[in-house]
Structure 1
Amino acid sequence: LELPQAGAIRPQITYSVPRFPTPSTSTSTHITHRAPFNTAYNNCAIETCCDWDHSVSLLIRCLFCTSAAISIIPKTAKMGGKVDAYIDIASLYSYITFYHIIKNQELLAAHGVQIEFVAPFPSPCTVTWVTLSISIHPVLLGAINAASGNKPPWSLPAKAKYGNFDARRSSVRVGKPDITTPDSFMERSMTVLPLRVLHFIKANYSDAVYQTAWHWFLHCFWEPPNANLTKPDVLAKTLADAPRQYPGDTRDRLFSEADVKKILEGAATQEIKDSVKAKTQEAIERGAFGAPWFWVVNDEGKGEPFFGSDRFHYMYEYLGVPYQDIAILPPQGKSAKL
């Protein structure tokens, strides 16, 4: 077993592991290592064990560090798919999409769906059977609209009027009844600064921190008193006020004063600016004309686009994830409407 070179950043490395003698199988195992063990690999010990149940598996555990996440997959196993979700803070239906995903992440995990907020150093060491992953990417909706020629829903009066009904219904259905459209929405919708912040957090903090930051930003933007995250001072205060868990206990803070300073400085670098542009361009090249936009690859390697927060049933069907569709129930006695 060869470790990656010291100093490597977020490697995606597949190791070939020699076949272990087993009673009934000749299957070898692939191991995907998603983060460097540490900066001095000669101090990192590896422990292996085997579990021969119905399929071949190999457990590798680092005895010293807690910064490694290892996915272990039988070489003969049929791989699942991948969902790339492109969302913007200024998109109401991106908020609904995000909340649907995190609200259902435990159930999705039970079906082998891994929510990848693309953390470079997940902790502690974990072993996961991965059959499907969903990755969340911050993108600038205004740039997508401009590139595709699309116009915001409120630019058409009839659509804007209907949109009020649909927004209320969608918010209540997903479990976010307090969502309200902020005043001066056009000004606030230019969310490039908070998107850069999210890209920096994604590249430098854990999966849990990135997820909480996303949820907190969406909450502050869309729920009273509706923070204007396009203003640097408001953005800094929002970061400083972010709870370690949201929703949950708000007494502990997610970021220290030093963290906030580092994040804001890092978000202003050319590298992070280019990162936002690159992910937005990736969505455009995959056909995006709005948000949330999804690019979904099934277990046969075929990719298709999906659009909107109400298309999960189509995605689950495409990916082979079991779900229960909307169905009219038979009448129960006097409750029949017709």
Structure 2
Amino acid sequence: MSEGSDPSEDHWEVFDEALATAREQLEAARTSYRQLGELHATPAESYASALADLEQLIDETDGVLDVTPEDAADATATADRVTLVSRTLDAMLAHQTDLLESELEIYATWLHSLKETPVATMDLSDELDALQAFVENENYGPLRTGDHFTLSQFRADLQVVDSFAREELSVSEYVEYCLTCIDSHQSAFTEDLRTLVQEDVSYSIKSDRKPINDLTQTVRDRRKEDGLGTIDCESARIALEGTMMLRYQTALALAAHNHRSRLSSILDSVDDASHSKEDLTDTVSIDDLEQSVTGAVVEHSSVSVEERVFDLLREHDGSLLRALSASDLDPDEFFATVQTGLEDGPINDLEAHFE
């Protein structure tokens, strides 16, 4: 505080900044919630209730006419609550977008290999450009639910072109295309595996990888011996499909690890979190982890009826009638809450009256 300044001005500044932050974070949380719905990953219903409660709390806090240090502290606490929900929804959205981007990268690699063949891929290139533009603009909904270009449609179109390539290319050309694509995917998932090792994540694909590697090696050996036949096209295609599956599995594992890190950070910020971070082990499903974090975050962010009644009474100088008028509770619940507060102590420092 500067010399000679009015202390109340500092309270107002803290109060206004906190409310601005709260409203900004509320809007961000709602945007994340909406985007998750567009990706068919709508969060638990409790988040919608928490957002509604927090909006009402912001509105009630914003109704203060004469800001006190306690009001400034309440506004800051409200901003912290909203920010916590916003961070959690943003973490959930980041996980979903990580998965979408990984899937798109797999298909982009597939298309790149197809473009090295004489088969026409111009339409697919335009489709990929459109999908990548969605990602660059952080407009992820159309990747799942768009009217024109979606990931599922892109994969189907790639399969059509792959089938056409198998008919039009010679056996050696088709096998070469498959092996080139396999090499690209293997380089990508090897990099993901290296990252997981560096992060001390226990993860292995050896059992799934061995039969695919064996099949791929058989095709390579037959190519060296100039003994390729039609059956090798089928073997190469199966090996390619399996390699793409392995790449997606490692991408899922890396995305899950990153998501666990985000969730762990969120739990760290909940001072009274009763949920142990031991729940964040790599053996626990993402759904279970999100449920655990949701329980902690929503509990921390929810506004109890007692808190709301106490804040209203304090704001209205203990006037029961004016507090009731400003509340959305029915009279029976309101007065029952007041009675409980008087008996248990939380509002004993207020002089409640009916004026």
Structure with greater proportional strand content:
1
Which protein is bigger by CA-based radius of gyration? 2
Please confirm whether the aligned pair reaches a TM-score higher than 0.5, indicating the same fold: no
Q: TM-score, normalised by structure 1?
A: 0.25
Structure with greater proportional helix content:
2
